[in-house]
Structure 1
Amino acid sequence: GAYPSVSLTCPLPGVPKAVFAAAEGRERFETRVTVLENGLRVASQNKFGQFCTVGILVNSGSRHEAKYLSGISHFLEKLAFSSTAQFGSKDEILLTLEKHGGICDCQASRDTIMYAVSADARGLDTVVNLLADVTLQPRLSDEEIEMTRMAIRFELEDLNMRPDPEPLLTEMIHAAAFRDNTVGLNRFCPVENTDKIDRDVLHSYLSSYYTPDRMVLAGVGIEHEHLVECARKYLLGVEPVWGSGRSRDVDRSVAQYTGGIVKVEKDMSDVSLGPTPIPELTHIMIGLESCSFLEDDFIPFAVLNMMMGGGGSFSAGGPGKGMFTRLYLNVLNRHHWMYNATSYHHSYEDTGLLCIHASADPKQVREMVEIITREFILMAGAVGEVELERAKTQLKSMLMMNLESRPVIFEDVGRQVLATNTRKLPHELCALISQVKPADIKRVVTKMLHKKPAVAALGDLTDLPSYEHIQAALSSKDGRLPRLYRLFR
């Protein structure tokens, strides 16, 4: 069977012609959406692989709790995947999933609650059945509710003792920016409410918010038709355990940005004891209203957040770590006494918040606040071509790298379809990022600086400037705090 005389450049005689796989356009990567008769949206994204991530996202979160006891979403997150009509206990659910190599998770945020399962794609039928049961038929037994109360009390204690105060500061800055409304409502259950929330309270909330038109069943790594078929089987015409006869009372209020300050005086000197204790720090977060993720300005704000960047003063450097972002170059590299300076951008369907978190020794709080207010004012100044390109490239690479992971694609598909009924694909987002010009950054910053600031402060606040002074600094030309004249220094 040898071919001694055939040149390597010629096809072998008598061998069938090779057929090569071809990449067939972009349509293979489209997110497909089907709306069922009851208003439930089914969205899927194909992805090569044996495993899939499927879940139900509900347009419900702490922002909808104004008329209810605060903390319901926190309870529901902890109670997820407990006993249901079909499954007697959490263990039974886990054993069912184990047969398909599956894991489950529930996460509640200010505006969405997500019940998700990753499992072998062949177990799709079982998974959708389980998700439908967990979402619409939970037993919420007295014993489970009591366990949840204990878990929440423990979590609240832990939250106040952690050396990393970031979750606490995020709560405080939202409370300051949107005082007593929508996204400013507390995401964690207040201690005094843990005993008041029971099955009746949960049912009255669920009957208003857990309705098919407020849900998306999203899947990644499965065939769309199969997912729709399972949705029809388990999520169409299903009577939830709380009944569907009640009148619905949905809070449709739009976020009202108020600005303001939330201060928590706290002794942080013993936060982390041990061989290398973290020194006592005071934490400040200053934020301004940005825009919702539905607006065109969302992309320039995302680029601006990348350009500010920042992090801790003990980051191990290296390419792509953001060491050339403004908060590193202008703040951490110049002021060695600052422990942390990081930019965050929170965005919701009707508003957003761009904030900078900084921490330093309590004696240097005044100086630290001024450094941050100066950085806010400098955002409206000249934007270098190089730093803008770097921020855009970093944002695109972060987007693409995050979307390598199946659970992240799932969350992206689910959240976008829940908010807009469609999904912008990564290459469309990258094209929008590429179009951002220095003028766009300047425009969004100028608009942002006209708003009152939101301030959160935690720790020893003896030297904290007054809210009026911080506001004055942010409306000045150079971001400096008004000078204090003391007769006796």
Structure 2
Amino acid sequence: MAEDVQMKRIGEVELDEVNPHLRGRRVENHLGKTTPSSPDRDSNLDLPVLSSRAQHDKRVSQLRHRGGTSNLRTPETWRSCKFSSQSGQPPVCRWSTHPPLSQPLPGIPPPVYASLKDEHHTTQVTTLSNGLRVASENRFGQFCTIGGIGKVELVELEEVNPHLRGGRVENHSGKTTPSSPYRDSNLNLPVLGSRAQHDKRSTTEFADKDKILYELEKHGGICDCQSSRDTFVYAASANIHGLDAVTRVLGEVVLRPQIAISELEGTRTAINFELETLSMRPEQETILTDMIHAAAYRQNTLGLPKICPSENLSKIDQSVLFTYLKHHHTPERMVVAGVGVDHDTFIESVSKYFLDQKPIWEQDSGLVIPTPGLAIDKSLAQYTGGVVQDECEVPVYAGPSGLPELAHLVVGLEGFPHQDPDFVPVCVLNMMMGGGGSFSAGGPGKGMYTRLYTNVLNRYHWMYSATAYNHAYMDTGLFCIHASCPPTHVSEMVDVVVKELVAMAGMIGEEELNRAKTQLQSMLLMNLEARPVMFEDIGRQVLATGHRKRPSYFIDAISKVKKDDIVRVAKKMLRSPPSVAARGGINKLQSWENIQAGLLHHEGKIPGNRGRLSLFR
């Protein structure tokens, strides 16, 4: 009882000996004010101080009720504060249920501290006996990212299935053969990519995708598969101690998949849903990317659509897919890359699951369609230029977005392959053009000072987006500007885009060039901080060239880009025939011939148009 009284009196403190000006029940802080009742008294209490102390006293009281105690109220502390209202010494309290922090916790393993050592950040590349390349780079951390990257080239599959085409997998220039007089125009490369994304593929070792995910979850792993116009990428990230298990999963998915009928039907359903969603979305970038490639590479290689036509889904069966895998998932066309792994350990695991164990189509030849004359066509992409347009109603955003119905336009020029000496200058040019949407978040580093912002979006209120893109491949490239506006301003939008393309070969300021170079260097280094991005960089470079160039190489190359380099690559691109893709309300779209004439004019003037654009029309 006496202890409770003492605990309650903690808040009743006489501060005579601390400060003679602090007295009474309403203690106040020092603002120089006095009151009749206390001439020396200040007028405002420092409430946060007493409030904090009151909270502390409440916590101490709660600790007593729970059986715990505190050693904060030691005799030395009490006497140093000169609390005259307490005649007796407060009880000394100690924790009784928790160990002190000065001692190691029982049952916890001792920490393993990182040691200082000289790390050599070099990418090691080894070619196995079957031609498979293994590339890796060690990196500090407890997790690793590994995966396989396969090359997608041109394949003549007319003897396999006349309906299988597209996405740079086959070379279809309109020819027909007696065996397939009605060949369709699209391979279903997206079927494989979508199937891998949705189903993760059952394999000979794993009955279904749940077994694969369960195996990865043991090591904190995740997986992904992506398909592009020129590569397939299978990747997984997991704890470094699960390297062998994850490599096993990767080998099973790539070389020994079991394509069940139920999985194939599920993938067809998923792709149909995605196609329906794509047609109802206001965003048109995916469709326009296919359209601009179709215009730039008419009826060949990269011009074949990546989006799967719905009529082809029912024509793709297990034998067709296995035949495709047999001819594309071959060792000489693949690279297995890893980040954060020991190279020798990685080679051992890869050899076990990619070299010693055979692919499923070699174990069972009945899975594939007999194709004695089937061969991979290594034709180069042929840039043609042209126009692809689709006059339709583009969906609008639901709700009060403020965005009207938009018409979309893409104007492209032939660019440079990623191994071309002018690849780095055109990347700097792309960064200098920049761009974005009218509702893009601003701020430093967001591209608000790029040309398509300062010259287009900030000047023409009816322009809702303007963005530059640079697509680079092994044997070609495509540089383009994507813009959108209401259908009533389509003609003016063409003028604006053409003028900006022509202005690339004009006067270039030193400040904007340095800003673009700095932004490109920053983006490169920041992206490579992510382990999956670094994995893809290693895999793609080794697949294309057999080795990897260090980031320092590109940083140095970017810093050496001059104004003359930008002007030179811009003039070279402007000499190529334009590629035009348009979708939406485009009845006012100008002809391809007029667009080409405007690009060849030194000021970008299109024949028959008014000389000056109004900012307010």
**TM-score of the superposed pair, with normalisation by structure 1:** 0.92
1:210 corresponds to which residue? Answer: 329
Superposition map of 1:78-477 within 5 A: 78-80=194-196, 81-243=200-362, 249-268=375-394, 270-276=395-401, 278-477=403-602
Match of 1:56 in 2: 148
Tell me if the contact between 1:72 and 1:202 (Cα under 8 Å) persists in the aligned partners.
no
Q: CA deviation at 1:484?
A: 5.5
**SS, match of residue 195 in structure 1:** helix
Q: 1:481 Cα shift?
A: 1.2
For the residue of structure 1 that corresponds to 2:387, the secondary structure is: strand
Report the secondary structure of 1:29's partner residue: coil
Cα deviations by residue, 1:220-245 (Å, 9 ceiling, x for unpaired): 11111111111111111432122287
Partner SS, residue 482 of structure 1: coil
Helix, strand or coil at the partner of 2:270: helix
Distance 2:149 2:239 in 1: 20
Distance 1:332 1:271 in 2: 20
CA distance in 1, matches of 2:596, 2:257: 48
Given that residues 260 and 467 in structure 1 are in contact (C-alpha distance below 8 angstroms), is that contact kept between their aligned partners in structure 2? yes
Question: 1:101·1:120 contact (CA, 8 Å) conserved in 2?
Answer: yes
CA distance 1:23–1:327, shift in 2 (3 Å): farther
Q: Deviations over 1:19-69 (max 9, x none)?
A: x97663xx7111110000100000001111111111011102621233697
State the SS of the aligned residue for 2:345: helix
Determine which of 104, 109, 126 is the counterpart of 1:34: 126
Superposed displacement of residue 72, structure 1:
2.8
Aligned equivalents of 1:167, 1:72: Cα separation in 2: 16
**1:31, 1:96 → 2: CA distance?**
28
Task: State the partner residue of 1:14.
Answer: none
Letter in 2 for 1:51: F
Distance in 1, matches of 2:357 and 2:348, equals: 15
Summarize deviations over 1:339-371 as a string: whole Å, max 9, x none. Answer: 001000000000001100111111111111101
1:422 shift after superposition: 0.6
Measure, in 1, the Cα distance between the counterparts of 2:117 and 2:588.
62
Deviations 1:102-160 (A, max 9, x none): 11110000000011101111001011111011011111111111111111111111111
Instruction: Give the partner amino acid of 1:308.
Output: M
Give the aligned residue type for 2:228: S
Separation in 1, partners of 2:117, 2:552: 16
8 Å contact from structure 2 (residues 391, 587) kept in 1: no
Work out which of the two has the higher radius of gyration on C-alpha atoms and give 1 or 2. Answer: 2
SS at match of 1:338: coil
The residue aligned with 1:44 is 136
**Are the aligned partners of 1:71 and 1:188 in contact in 2 as well (CA < 8 Å)?**
no
Shift of 1:273: 2.4
Q: SS at the partner of 1:243?
A: helix
Give, in whole Å, the separation in 2 of the partners of 1:103 and 1:225.
23
| Residue pair 1:332, 1:340 contacting (<8 A) in 2 also | yes
Q: Following the alignment from structure 1 to structure 2, what is the Cα–Cα distance between the partners of residues 210 and 327? A: 42
Residue 4 of structure 1 corresponds to: none
Q: Secondary structure at the match of 2:336?
A: strand
1: CA distance, partners of 2:442 / 2:410: 24
TM-score between both structures, scaled by the size of structure 2: 0.73
Contact 1:308-1:343 within 8 A present in 2 as well? yes
- 1:7 aligns with none
- Give the aligned partner of residue 65 of structure 1: 170
| Structure 1 residue matching 2:360: 3-state secondary structure | coil
Moved more, 337-346 or 150-159: 150-159
Distance in 2, Cα, partners of 1:53 & 1:107: 15
CA distance in structure 1 between the partners assigned to 2:518 and 2:352 by the alignment: 44
Deviations 1:429-488 (A, max 9, x none): 100000101111111111111100001101001111011111111111111111169xxx
1:328 shift after superposition: 0.6
Amino acid at match of 1:137: R
Name the SS of the counterpart of 2:272 in structure 1: helix
Structure having greater relative contact order (Cα 8 Å, sep ≥ 6): 1
Q: Which whole-Å CA distance do the structure 1 matches of 2:520 and 2:251 have between them? A: 36
- Counterpart of 2:303, as a letter, is G
CA contact (8 A) 2:169 2:187 kept: no
Q: Secondary structure at the match of 1:287?
A: strand
For residues 437 and 284 of structure 1, the distance between their equivalents in structure 2, rounded to whole angstroms, comes to 31
Amino acid at match of 1:253: S
Asked if the contact 2:171/2:379 (under 8 Å) is kept, the reply is no
> Per-residue deviation at 1:73?
2.0
Aligned to 1:9: none
What secondary structure is seen at the aligned counterpart in 2 of 1:107? strand
Residues 59 and 215 in structure 1, CA contact (< 8 A), matched pair in contact too: yes
| 286-295 or 274-283: bigger deviation | 274-283
Secondary structure of the residue aligned to 1:64 is coil
SS at structure 1 position matched to 2:516: helix
Judge which range, 233-242 or 177-186, deviates more. Answer: 233-242
Kept in 2, the 8 Å contact 1:344–1:354? The answer is: yes
CA distance in 2, matches of 1:273, 1:405: 35
Checking the alignment, whether the CA contact within 8 Å between 2:126 and 2:135 is kept in structure 1 is yes
Q: Return the letter of the residue paired with 1:474.
A: L
Matches of 1:240 and 1:435 in 2, distance apart?
A: 47
Runs (5+) with no aligned partner, structure 1: 1-19
Paired residue secondary structure (2:580): strand
> How big is the shift at 1:393?
0.3
The whole-number CA distance in structure 1 between the counterparts of 2:216 and 2:403 is: 42
Q: Name the residue aligned to 1:8.
A: none
Segments of structure 2 that go 5 or more residues without pairing to the other structure are 1-113, 154-166, 173-182, 366-370, 611-617
Aligned length: 463
